[in-house]
Amino acid sequence: MGVKNKTQVTMFEFSGLTDDKLVALFLFMLFLVVYIVTVFGNVGMIATVNVSPTLHTPMYYLLSYLSMVDLFYCSVITPKMLSDLLSERKLITFMGCSLQFYFFCALAGTEVYILSGMAYDRYVAICHPLHYISVMTKKKCLGLVTLSFVVGFVQSVAQTSSLFSLEFCDSNLIDHFYCDIPPLVRLSCSQIRTCTIVTLFFVCFCGLSSMTNILVSYTLIIPSILRINSVAGRRKAFSTCSSHLMCATIFYVAVVCAYFHPSSSTLKIQEKVSSVFYTAVTPMLNPIIYSLRNQEAKKSILRLLQKSSN
């Protein structure tokens, strides 16, 4: 009777996005442009909010933190992905894999709660405009941001601990381009029940609680917008809400497509495509959406560009 090898792996290898060198070169150039636009877009949004007095409001305060999270969020995955597209072997150490997953999971959790906080901000602004200043104080905004980071990083500790306490003693090939739960669980040669329970609990808790807040907020917001008498007022309210709603929808749809589907080898490509979208593309889209659809942000950006060109 053979004895199963129980030696814990110390190095993982990614399968990556493609084995075709020409396709890999094309993807490298594409995602390099995406990453550069993401960095400049989010840094630009943070700078615009900080230096423009007209944007010193709770909505833009939360938006600046969303941009900061997006900046770090994409930087956890994209640089390694770019490096691997030009490498023969796509290696990462066990510790490197755990750190990558930890920060990825923490920042993803933080993002969903900041998006949830932004929905609450829009609810107060539109449904209770007379009390907006007294409700959305600097202390309240700081509390929402702090809570988002605390919940995001604490839940990541639990998920990372349960995932990397598993034994990986057979293949070390991760069929993905970064360290994530589904491909790592498939590699494990130990009991995964505890890890699965912990993962499902925190994914459902964070996802459903933030999504419920967003849905409830907009269920109350939309009738309030329709009751606004002024056409300009309705347009302005819809503009700020639609920007946030588009960002939240894109993020949640990409996450659902990546994680919530039947287990099948034919869906692995879809999983990678969805993962690319919410790890690399979504952080790029958020500042672009707010810049194009929000008049105040657009005017502030144009003023800054004019000043810098003079």
Per-residue model confidence (pLDDT) at position 310: 60
Neighbours of 302 (CB within 10 A): 11
263 vs 288: CA distance, rounded Å: 34
SS3 32: helix
Neighbours of 148 (CB within 10 A): 24
Per-residue model confidence (pLDDT) at position 3: 43
Give me the amino acid identity at 26.
F
79 vs 177: CA distance, rounded Å: 11
Residue with tokens 């993002």: 111
**129 Cβ contact partners less than 8 Å away, ≥ 6 residues apart:** none
287 vs 34: CA distance, rounded Å: 13
SS3 232: helix
Neighbours of 64 (CB within 10 A): 19
Domain residue ranges in the chain: 11-298
**305 Cβ contact partners less than 8 Å away, ≥ 6 residues apart:** none
Backbone angles phi, psi at 7, to 5 degrees: -70, 120
Backbone angles phi, psi at 295, to 5 degrees: -65, -40
Per-residue model confidence (pLDDT) at position 226: 87
Residues 281, 285, 286, CA angle at the centre, nearest 5°?
125
Per-residue model confidence (pLDDT) at position 99: 96
Per-residue model confidence (pLDDT) at position 268: 67
CATH 3.60.40.10 assigned to domain 11-298? The reply is no
Per-residue model confidence (pLDDT) at position 255: 80
13 vs 172: CA distance, rounded Å: 6
Count of alpha carbons within 13 angstroms of residue 200, beta-carbon side: 8
Residues in the chain with pLDDT values less than 70:
1-7, 261-268, 292-299, 301, 304-310
Helices (H), the chain: 21-51, 58-85, 94-127, 132-135, 138-163, 181-187, 193-226, 231-259, 268-276, 282-293, 295-309
Write down the pTM of the prediction. Answer: 0.89
| Angstrom distances, CA of residue 92 to CA of 84, 89, 187, 196 | 10, 10, 15, 23
